[in-house]
Structure 1
Amino acid sequence: MVFNWISRAPRQVLGLISLACIAMLAFGMYLQHVVGLEPCPMCIVQRYALILVAVFAGIGAMRSGPGWWKTWSFLALLMAGFGAFVAARQSFLQWYPPEFATCGRDFYGMIENYPISRSIPMIFRGSGDCTAIDWTFLGGSIANWSFVCFAIIAIALLVALVRGGRR
């Protein structure tokens, strides 16, 4: 039933994905500014991926030609896959923390003080903050739920690309 709806109305699905990403970003801001949780470097990378998914899906929802929305959907799918990868890596670090976890620099400090070729591996290596589980919901950490959300978005985008626009 859901797949049929995605097939019939792919642009509306893109609009809903964009709105859902904005809602998730708002929830992340709530956790940071109201609850007081400090995001780790991998969390910030996931936020950027979520922003790009929202932007690409929103642009795809506004463009009427099939070539346009498919192009933007594909870009959103790539960013959702990247976000899922980062969230899965962070979940792995939380389940199997490294023996010597040190609290590393924040994301902006890494980018400002190191060349990009050194800072990107440092981000994915994770710091002591990336392994910390400060908040859970139904037994899952923020990274676990982030992975689930990115995976659902990627599946919806994939269905829209493969089956979308067929009459």
Structure 2
Amino acid sequence: MLASIQQINSRQTNFLIFIVCTLMMLAAAYMEHVMKMIPCSLCITQRGFVVLTGVLALIAAIHNPASGGRRVYAILGIVSPILGACFAGRQLWLQSLPEDQVPACGPGLAYIFEEFPFMEAFKLLLQGDGNCAHVDKILGLSLAAWTFIAFIGLALVNLYQLLRKDDKLA
């Protein structure tokens, strides 16, 4: 199996990362629009990092740079999902709080961006509120847990990209 993994070049790996991120966003859209699961502010922040990770991977796949450029893309591809994992971790922490310690629910996202200065609205978005403590489970884990696992997986694949031996440009 290791031999078959090594046959996949960095361009193909980056395209695979892009596909995974696209599937994650399609699943999020399905849950929001079909299953009527309203995303909280931390969910939206995590979506932003999924999109950023996917876009970086797509650019890397299209650009297909030499060794130094591949390392830069890999480093960016590690940082983005690690930051996303931090927000997923914060949501997991909020979900683990006893009910009496959950922060109060805040106003809707549209209201926040209409009424608050951008930086204050952005800060509120990143902190999360009581809405973020709601737990929706799929296959026994919360969505935040699945997203956390996905971010760690994406970071590990990018770490592999960073540490792998140079492959032929394809």
TM-score clears 0.5: yes
Tell me, in whole angstroms, the C-alpha distance in 2 between the residues paired with 1:44 and 1:102.
18
- 8 Å CA contact 1:15–1:58 kept in 2: the answer is yes
Q: Which residue of 1 aligns with 2:106?
A: 104
- Opposite residue 86 of structure 1, the aligned amino acid is F
Q: Which residue of 2 aligns with 1:125?
A: 127
Structure 1 counterpart SS, 2:78: helix
The alpha carbon displacement at 1:32 in A equals: 0.2
Q: Which residue of 1 aligns with 2:116?
A: 114
Structure 2 counterpart SS, 1:35: coil
Q: Which residue of 2 aligns with 1:165?
A: 166
Residue-pair matches, total: 166
Gapped regions of structure 2 (runs ≥ 5): none
Q: Which residue of 2 aligns with 1:24?
A: 24
Change (3 A) 1:105 1:12: same
- 8 Å CA contact 1:53–1:80 kept in 2: the answer is yes
1:58-69 matches, within 5 Å, as 58-66=58-66, 67-69=68-70
**TM-score where L is the length of structure 1:** 0.87
Gapped regions of structure 1 (runs ≥ 5): none
The alpha carbon displacement at 1:61 in A equals: 1.0
- 8 Å CA contact 1:42–1:126 kept in 2: the answer is yes
The question of 1:77 aligning with 2:78 is answered yes
- Output the aligned Cα RMSD: 2.3
Q: Which residue of 2 aligns with 1:88?
A: 89
**TM-score where L is the length of structure 2:** 0.86
Q: Which residue of 1 aligns with 2:34?
A: 34
- 8 Å CA contact 2:84–2:151 kept in 1: the answer is yes
Change (3 A) 1:54 1:3: farther
The alpha carbon displacement at 1:159 in A equals: 1.2
The alpha carbon displacement at 1:86 in A equals: 0.4
